[in-house]
């Protein structure tokens, strides 16, 4: 953004001068005093307004005029991105020294209006707004690593040929590993390249809430029509549907309907379908029907690549030593890598200080991701030891085959805790418990969970052990 080749501020000033000449004064002030130039990137001008409403109106009425004038003045194919910023930030910019203008924050809701020849811009924009998609999640800014190549390739294939190759598709994996990013990239790619297709992105929670509302207000038919008339249905976080029987039933019918008419469906889930609880068999068999792909935590090399790419995107730089330190210590997921970077970059920018390794250690020491990361590396052996000590039985006995009453419960509690607080799969946990099957782990987990529902004293014991484990020094 600091690149002077992509600074379009002067062109922007000229653009609004021209527009001012053509519009009634009142109209001009109403809308153009409410938006502001906040920066530019390669062939893109970024404008901000204080609300989505203002932006929607400016986009609907003046977008073409803005883009055309900018293209004419610069002689380049310029696109315009609109973001929402707080009123105070807008006023700051209005006072404006353009060179001090900062990059729009990543979390700002971005509505980009690329110059497109295929669809009328209005259609593209409208669909973008309708389908709740975050436009900043694109294939182009997804860093591919060995943990995600398969999921990435499958997603791209779907986006290029919706309804054809992998239908339905399920992307599963832990929190912060890029499920929403990939799912949204599919949606954004389709809208940009095949705008005649109607894309719908919802989280399972939104789907559930809309369903409940429609039942309450007798609008079931319009709910059904809404979801059954799309060409591409993207539902994020379907684990949310656990235990929601009515919504599951409705989704089951929606699924069948879309499936029969060969409409593309993609779902995401935080675990493999077989590990979901309280999901009807018929619905889970639908989810498992097509392609199931997983996203694993990134390896060290991928973490380095992600950090480098994100630092560059933010126009910042960081020494190899610091990148190595973050990549070594934040191993949980990409979201945690991002928040580490945000914190470090904010520090060096705000205080205008060079970031040292010591400062990095100090700043990251307070990040929850480092604690979360520690949980992940909590070994199953440690869990068995802590639980065994509490019940006065040895690790050897817990892992062994004996079925004494005094051993069964500590064993089941250890399995429960292993599944609850670590990222290990049930198969891995089974292996650590003397080569037991993953179904035994699941059984123990369910058993402890149901005991906890009925027995308060027992619950307290389990929670105490869990707290102890969280505090174990590793």
Binder of ligand ADP out of 63, 181, 263, 399 (CB under 6 A): 181
Smaller CB distance to ligand ADP: residue 34 or 179?
179
To 5 degrees, how large is the angle CA 447–CA 175–CA 319?
Answer: 140
DSSP 200-219: EEEEHHHHHHHHHHHHHTT-
CB 399 within 8 A of CB 433: yes
Binder of ligand ADP out of 55, 143, 293, 318 (CB under 6 A): 143
Sole window of 25-33, 62-70, 176-184, 357-365 interacting with Mg ion (rule: CB under 5 A): 176-184
Binder of Mg ion out of 136, 180, 395, 412 (CB under 5 A): 180
Sole window of 180-188, 205-213, 297-305, 432-440 interacting with Mg ion (rule: CB under 5 A): 180-188
Binding of residue 397 to ligand ADP (CB under 6 A): no
Binder of ligand ADP out of 177, 265, 273, 398 (CB under 6 A): 177
In angstroms, give the least distance from the CB of 177 to Mg ion.
Answer: 9
User: Is residue 142 left, alpha or beta, with left meaning phi > 0 and alpha meaning psi from -120 to 50?
Assistant: beta
End-to-end CA distance of the chain: 42
Instruction: Say if residue 450 is exposed, middle or buried (CB neighbours under 10 Å; 0-12, 13-18, 19+).
Output: exposed
Binding of residue 334 to ligand ADP (CB under 6 A): yes
Quick check: helix, strand or coil at residue 172?
Answer: strand
| Distance (Å, whole) CA 447 – CA 62 | 62
Sole window of 96-104, 179-187, 206-214, 307-315 interacting with Mg ion (rule: CB under 5 A): 179-187
Sole window of 95-103, 276-284, 333-341, 389-397 interacting with ligand ADP (rule: CB under 6 A): 333-341
Binder of ligand ADP out of 178, 187, 410, 430 (CB under 6 A): 178
Tokens of 74: 């610069």
* Partner from Mg ion, ligand ADP, none binding residue 181, C-beta < 5-8 Å depending on class: ligand ADP
Smaller CB distance to Mg ion: residue 236 or 432?
236
| Distance (Å, whole) CA 9 – CA 405 | 76
| Distance (Å, whole) CA 83 – CA 104 | 8
Binding of residue 180 to ligand ADP (CB under 6 A): yes
Sole window of 47-55, 154-162, 178-186, 441-449 interacting with Mg ion (rule: CB under 5 A): 178-186
Q: How far is CA 235 from CA 14, 197, 250, 254, 474, in A?
A: 44, 17, 14, 12, 38
In angstroms, give the least distance from the CB of 273 to ligand ADP.
Answer: 16
Binding site for ligand ADP (CB under 6 A): 137, 141-143, 148, 175-181, 306, 334-335, 338
């Amino acid at each position: 953004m600091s690149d002077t080749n992509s600074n379009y501020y002067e062109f922007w000033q000229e653009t609004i001068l021209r527009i001012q000449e053509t519009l009634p004064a009142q109209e001009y002030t109403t809308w153009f005093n409410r938006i502001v130039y906040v920066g530019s990137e390669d062939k893109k001008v970024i404008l901000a307004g204080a609300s989505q409403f203002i932006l929607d109106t400016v986009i609907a009425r003046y977008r073409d005029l803005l883009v055309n004038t900018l293209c004419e003045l610069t002689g380049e194919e310029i696109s315009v991105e609109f973001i929402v910023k707080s009123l105070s930030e807008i006023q700051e910019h209005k006072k404006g020294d353009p060179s001090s203008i900062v990059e729009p924050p990543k979390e700002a809701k971005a509505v980009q209006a690329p110059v497109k020849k295929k669809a009328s811009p209005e259609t593209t924009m409208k669909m973008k707004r309708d389908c709740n998609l975050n436009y900043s999640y694109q294939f182009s800014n997804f860093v591919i690593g060995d943990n995600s190549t398969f999921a990435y390739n499958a997603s791209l294939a779907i986006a290029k040929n919706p309804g054809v190759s992998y239908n339905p598709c399920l992307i599963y994996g832990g929190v912060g590993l890029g499920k929403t990013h990939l799912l949204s990239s599919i949606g954004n790619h389709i809208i940009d390249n095949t705008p005649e297709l109607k894309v719908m992105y919802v989280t399972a929670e939104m789907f559930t809430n809309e369903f409940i509302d429609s039942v309450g207000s007798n609008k079931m038919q319009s709910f059904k029509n809404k979801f059954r008339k799309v060409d591409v249905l993207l539902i994020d976080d379907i684990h949310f549907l656990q235990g929601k029987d009515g919504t599951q039933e409705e989704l089951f019918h929606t699924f069948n309907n879309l499936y029969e008419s060969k409409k593309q469906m993609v779902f995401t889930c935080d675990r493999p379908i077989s590990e979901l609880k309280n999901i009807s068999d018929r619905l889970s068999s639908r989810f498992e029907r097509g392609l199931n792909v997983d996203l694993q935590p990134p390896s060290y090399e991928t973490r380095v690549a992600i950090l480098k790419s994100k630092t560059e995107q933010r126009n910042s730089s960081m020494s190899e030593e610091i990148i190595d330190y973050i990549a070594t210590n934040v191993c949980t997921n990409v979201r945690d890598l991002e928040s580490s970077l945000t914190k470090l970059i904010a520090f060096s920018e705000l205080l205008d200080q060079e970031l040292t390794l010591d400062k990095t250690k100090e700043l990251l020491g307070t990040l929850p991701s480092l604690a979360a990361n520690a949980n992940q590396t909590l070994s199953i052996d440690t869990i068995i030891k802590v639980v065994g000590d509490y019940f006065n039985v040895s690790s050897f006995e817990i892992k062994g085959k004996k079925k004494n009453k005094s051993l069964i419960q500590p064993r089941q509690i250890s399995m429960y805790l292993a599944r609850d607080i670590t990222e290990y799969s049930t198969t891995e946990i089974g292996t650590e418990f003397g080569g037991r099957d993953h179904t035994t782990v699941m059984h123990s987990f369910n058993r402890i969970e149901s005991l906890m529902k009925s027995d308060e004293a027992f619950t307290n014991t389990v929670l105490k052990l869990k707290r102890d484990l969280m505090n174990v020094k590793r």
